[in-house]
Amino acid sequence: MFPLWNIEAARMKDMQAQLEKLQRNAAECALIRDLATDAKKRELFARLAEHLAELASAVEQTIGEGAGSEISPDLPPRP
DSSP of 53-64: HHHHHHHHHHHH
pLDDT value of position 34: 98
* Single-letter amino acid code for the residue at 12: M
If we measure between CA atoms, which residue out of 13, 1, 18 comes closest to residue 74?
A: 1
Taking the mean position of all CA atoms in its chain, how far away is CA 44?
A: 22
pLDDT value of position 4: 64
Radius of gyration of the chain (CA): 18
Its pTM stands at: 0.74
If we measure between CA atoms, which residue out of 29, 24, 11 comes closest to residue 56?
A: 24
pLDDT value of position 49: 98
Q: State phi, psi for 72 to the nearest 5 degrees.
A: -155, 115
In tens digits, the chain (79 residues) has pLDDT values of 556 667 878 888 999 999 999 999 999 999 999 999 999 999 999 999 999 999 999 999 988 887 665 444 444 444 4
